[in-house]
Structure 1
């Protein structure tokens, strides 16, 4: 268990905008930050972070909470792991008791897979640095590649002994279950036999954006033609090859800072570039680039520079997958190295200044590069040239931005020596075909949706729910503020008529709300709001220096999610950038007293109307005396309702 003092120190020190900034590219928006949702595929920002409130809200998925909730949602951390991650980030010493074997067994399956993977990473590093075989084979290989001791340790590189079950035996000895060793792919089980998947290989741990070990890549060092040169962990609950980029943990901050990401093919390309001083580099680990991998980069930057070696055939094959990047609305550049060179070897042979200068001078816009290269290959063959034109126009059609598309058409026209009219016509055909496909898919989805929609009645607006929610919002945002309130006292005038006489008094917002609700004996009907209401009132009453961020940290996860939704509603509207359209909404802080009074009055009116309906139902089937009594009560409520309604109209 982690001590409360450590948890409190973590919450006091951690800044939500700094932590989330490691995973999502955030841009200033008023007093808050906005960015693309890390939980859904989107092109317009709907993710908001409030440094003042120390909370975040993703309006596309509905998720929200504090800094720990983000790590638990995004990285699938347990609560203790999120606290440890933050403690490590901010150099806070963690006070805790060591987990027993029984506690390890009680961890859920996903967590067990992480624990096994972390153990394996430590084991392979230990073998590399502290065994004769590890030093002679594994460490020698890495040093031959030009990696320093510091780099080897930074990337947690390791070695798996050339033994059929050395790792498996050690893991079982340490208490890790064979079930999880098999599920992570570290151990292969065949009937009654078991052996190490990565036997005799140097090891590259594959880490998530937060640094958790998800799987491994292993390179064989012998000339065994039957064995694969590189071997990756199989798919598991924690490792999905199509959603992971090698090096993203070490590169994320540099990618956001430089506003560019270099994309290479192999593990050693990433490590060599990083060692040379260029840290904003990741690898797809030899797999074809996927939409999920692109979205991972898209959270940090809109700019990708793809680095290829001098193999022309390999370049052409890779170009086919880059259209996916364009579809995400990203800017793509291509940089190739001299024939016979790859990013690893070129970085090794050049200084940081030489490498940086080469990348700047040789990085070309993707469309220009593709047009130039394909044109050279087909300029003497009319049929191939026509196919090349269609290929390039197809890539241009993937770009969402119309202005960019037009500029690329103009550039392509010059390079390919074809009129813009022909290219626009081809683009229109390609776009029409894509539109037809999209429409067809939309109609099919709409048909299925209509079936479901027709089966379900339209939900009615729950007025009391909305009013109770509004009260919670006011308490959270302004509960501790002191305001001048206009109270309404029910009195009879000289004509014996009921009137509402205004009386002004000064009070704190939470006191005003509490006394009004108590006076009218108004109870919350929503249990979640009811619990939250009394917790807020109690906290404000006992602690005059109430800090909102600490309160969010102390409630259950589902309540915290509801709270962040309420608290970030104002920030949601900043996503529309009203100020750029010369629209300046009035700040709520200017009319807090009015907001409180209107909300309470609206709740009173609603409850009075509800009471009138209930009394009206009671008159049915009652005897005359009871009928008259109820009718008198209804008339009384009606008069009160009219008075309150008139007051609301004036306020509005």
Structure 2
């Protein structure tokens, strides 16, 4: 048993830690005489009021009054307790940790399970990496990744791996190394329902590192088998050592480049991020199997003043881009959009056209305002009063998210020019936007029933409530649907919660309520289950609901494509528009085929 950290060690950490180096890992600092200044990481600000004084080994913010020494700073930034902060700094500055058998006021006994799980994940990452490079079972995964243009150097750098198809192998191996059942049950490496069954099997593995390069978690890509029965990507849920909403993939590799370039790329996933790095664009990071969070933006805000968004161009990607723009703007960051041509993602551009082409796409990124105005111009008819009103109403949240009056005024002028209406008219509607929004939202779409707690209950939401009465049916639903297949925001949120619980191995009623942060949805779930509304739900009824949702989603996508095609009419003399029209036509053709096939399977579907 280690005991408590000695006062001697604590004193050594306090005296030997370079506080400028410690803070500099999180904040862009500028030297001014005997002090270093930057924007405070504990509250949002545009003008630096955060001061580090090396001579006194302390920091202080004149805005929010946060202050302390290196240990305090690490505690707050890493969300760890005192002993863990001491260990982090001791490791960083090569200070020996000594333990005492007596109690010291500032050194409290701590649970070291976080460090033990980090050690476990590092060992498992090594095993998976060996499995990819050195075993016959992993050859097909290695062939897949190299065919996609990933070099051996990149594979080594990101420590890519392969998880064995035998789902009992990992438990047997770790048990032979004296890991206990109790310890492994809490590791997240095994199914909660079947504790001897590995969570990841027969997948290409992506270790997820913290900012210091320690392995915290995994993402696994499906490569073979029936895609209807397995999600394309399977990701670790939140763990003792890992909270996905507070971590960014590849930040450990990207942080120095982000600091030097003062910009960062947020991209869709693991492969996109790896492609950027292999092409020399080393300031790319990715959210981890979830939507971008404010905490993830805060990670890079201390180093970057410009965010470049590189999400897919499909419906889900457009929604993710729109949401990310608002979030980044609310934190005072400049935002640009990377638009990829002749390829669906950065990995495809790297493979087919090379690093120079991908670099040119990044250098040609456009401002978020230009992107949004172009997007809305395709969505609405700007030559009608109704189209102009809807266009403006959808653009107003962007103006709301801007942080200065100059930015807001300039964007209102830009909107007026785009719609060919006066600045005064645009300002009036913007200033009265809440009333305009309420009038718009008071007209509910067909089949939607608003309730007092802010949840819209329609057929999509009811389908998910039905699955809650028999969670075994969710496997079919999650294998065929994604968040983007739900139009109702309440249903989309509930589906995300169910999927997160499913992937964690615990889809119980209690787990769903614990994972759901929306009080209105929790109330509706509890009410529905208590009443037994869907107690007679059958596998057939769930399958039929899934078919209906798929058909409706395809029809919405078809409508969006038709709107884009209509907006391009009269502009086809431009080669880029010709290419876009061709791609849209192919997408529409594919969707038409899917709708027809599902119509034959299910019937006439819903709507036209």
Q: Establish whether TM, by shorter chain, passes 0.5.
A: yes
- 2:211, 2:252 within 8 Å by CA — same for their partners in 1? yes
**Equivalent-residue separation in structure 2 for 1:253 and 1:433 (angstroms):** 46
* Shift of residue 63, structure 1, vs aligned partner: 5.6
- 2:338, 2:361 within 8 Å by CA — same for their partners in 1? no
**Equivalent-residue separation in structure 2 for 1:65 and 1:292 (angstroms):** 22
Structure with the bigger RCO (C-alpha within 8 Å, sep 6+) is 1
**Equivalent-residue separation in structure 1 for 2:327 and 2:248 (angstroms):** 16
- 2:266, 2:284 within 8 Å by CA — same for their partners in 1? yes
Match of 1:121 among 125, 133, 157: 125
Matching residue of 2:269: 266
Matching residue of 1:245: 248
The yes-or-no answer on 1:275 pairing with 2:278 is yes
TM-score by length of 1: 0.58
**Equivalent-residue separation in structure 1 for 2:28 and 2:434 (angstroms):** 31
**Equivalent-residue separation in structure 2 for 1:165 and 1:140 (angstroms):** 25
Match of 2:412 among 398, 409, 412: 409
**Equivalent-residue separation in structure 2 for 1:4 and 1:158 (angstroms):** 42
**Equivalent-residue separation in structure 1 for 2:28 and 2:436 (angstroms):** 34
The yes-or-no answer on 1:79 pairing with 2:86 is yes
**Equivalent-residue separation in structure 2 for 1:419 and 1:334 (angstroms):** 28
The yes-or-no answer on 1:130 pairing with 2:134 is yes
Match of 1:203 among 192, 195, 205: 205
> Aligned in 2, Cα 1:62/1:177: closer, same or farther, shift over 3 Å?
farther
The 5 Å alignment of 1:368-517 reads 368-379=370-381, 382=384, 383-430=386-433
> Aligned in 2, Cα 1:80/1:312: closer, same or farther, shift over 3 Å?
closer
- 2:167, 2:198 within 8 Å by CA — same for their partners in 1? yes
> Aligned in 2, Cα 1:353/1:68: closer, same or farther, shift over 3 Å?
farther
The 5 Å alignment of 1:216-615 reads 216-224=218-226, 225-311=228-314, 314-316=317-319, 318-361=321-364, 363-379=365-381, 382=384, 383-430=386-433
Secondary structure at the aligned position of 1:132 is classed as coil
Matching residue of 2:55: 52
Matching residue of 1:599: none
Q: Deviations 1:443-473 (Å, cap 9, x if unpaired)?
A: xxxxxxxxxxxxxxxxxxxxxxxxxxxxxxx
Secondary structure at the aligned position of 2:196 is classed as strand
**Equivalent-residue separation in structure 1 for 2:414 and 2:323 (angstroms):** 20
Matching residue of 1:145: 148
TM-score by length of 2: 0.62
The total of aligned residue pairs comes to: 419
The 5 Å alignment of 1:124-203 reads 124-134=128-138, 136-190=139-193, 193-203=195-205
> Aligned in 2, Cα 1:334/1:188: closer, same or farther, shift over 3 Å?
same
Q: Deviations 1:551-572 (Å, cap 9, x if unpaired)?
A: xxxxxxxxxxxxxxxxxxxxxx
Q: Deviations 1:387-430 (Å, cap 9, x if unpaired)?
A: 11111122111112111111112222222222211111122223
Secondary structure at the aligned position of 2:229 is classed as coil
Which segment is superposed worse, 54-63 or 13-22? 54-63
- For the aligned residues, what is the CA RMSD? 3.4
> Aligned in 2, Cα 1:426/1:31: closer, same or farther, shift over 3 Å?
farther
Matching residue of 1:450: none
Over alpha carbons, which structure has the higher Rg? 1
- 1:128, 1:138 within 8 Å by CA — same for their partners in 2? yes
- 1:393, 1:426 within 8 Å by CA — same for their partners in 2? no
**Equivalent-residue separation in structure 1 for 2:179 and 2:66 (angstroms):** 34
**Equivalent-residue separation in structure 1 for 2:229 and 2:61 (angstroms):** 49
- 1:184, 1:233 within 8 Å by CA — same for their partners in 2? no
**Equivalent-residue separation in structure 2 for 1:95 and 1:73 (angstroms):** 23
**Equivalent-residue separation in structure 2 for 1:106 and 1:370 (angstroms):** 50
**Equivalent-residue separation in structure 2 for 1:144 and 1:69 (angstroms):** 47
Which segment is superposed worse, 267-276 or 153-162? 153-162
**Equivalent-residue separation in structure 1 for 2:93 and 2:222 (angstroms):** 36
- 2:171, 2:197 within 8 Å by CA — same for their partners in 1? yes
Structure 2's unaligned 5+ residue stretches are 99-108, 438-608
**Equivalent-residue separation in structure 2 for 1:311 and 1:167 (angstroms):** 37
* Shift of residue 230, structure 1, vs aligned partner: 0.2
**Equivalent-residue separation in structure 2 for 1:106 and 1:369 (angstroms):** 50
> Aligned in 2, Cα 1:106/1:263: closer, same or farther, shift over 3 Å?
closer
> Aligned in 2, Cα 1:74/1:221: closer, same or farther, shift over 3 Å?
same
**Equivalent-residue separation in structure 2 for 1:168 and 1:390 (angstroms):** 55
* Shift of residue 281, structure 1, vs aligned partner: 0.7
> Aligned in 2, Cα 1:106/1:320: closer, same or farther, shift over 3 Å?
closer
- 1:305, 1:334 within 8 Å by CA — same for their partners in 2? yes
Secondary structure at the aligned position of 1:204 is classed as strand
- 1:266, 1:285 within 8 Å by CA — same for their partners in 2? yes
- 1:110, 1:237 within 8 Å by CA — same for their partners in 2? yes
